[in-house]
Every structure is written in structure tokens, then in C-alpha cells.
Amino acid sequence: MTVTGKVVREIGGEELGNIHIGRNITDYAWDGKDQYGDQLANGVYIYRVITTLNGEKIEKKSTQADKYFKKEFGKMFLMR
């Protein structure tokens, strides 16, 4: 989403492929386009990872990656 809160793209499990409990690696690579196929501008974007199993939210375990998130949100800079 943009820094103003507009959702630009949602990536679901069907795009990521099989996900297993534990550490996951996928071949998925986001192309930097929004939900309409338009290329996003360079800038700061906010993201959130939500995991569910059978429709129920899965609580995550604490890891060293937590320092990159604030209240479940992470930040990335898109630059080409």
C-alpha cells in the first residue's frame, strides 16, 4: 500500500504456491505492478504479511526479522 494507505496490490497463496509451516522459500517474484497491471512509481510502500490456515489467522513466532516490522507492517523502497 502507499504511505497514505491505498492498497495497490494483494498477493495471495495461489500466486505463492505451496506454503508449509516453518521457513518457506518460493519462486514468486513481484513485478512492481499494481492490481491493474500498472507499474508503480519509485517510492516508499508499506506491506503486511497475513497468514491463515482454513480461514483462521495464524499467530507468528518472534524472530530476528521482527525489527523490520512495526505493528505487523513493514516498509520497502521501490526503485528501478
User: Which residues form the domain of 42?
Assistant: 13-78
Residue 52 lies in a domain: yes
Neighbours of 25 (CB within 10 A): 5
Residue 3 lies in a domain: no
The string of pLDDT tens digits covering residues 6-34 is 899 988 878 887 776 667 677 788 899 99
Instruction: Record the pTM.
Output: 0.68
Residue 64 lies in a domain: yes
- How many Cα atoms are found within 13 Å in the side-chain-facing hemisphere of 1? 10
Q: Which residues are paired to 24 by β-bridges?
A: none
pLDDT of residue 21: 66
Residue 1 lies in a domain: no
Task: Tell me how many domains the chain contains.
Answer: 1
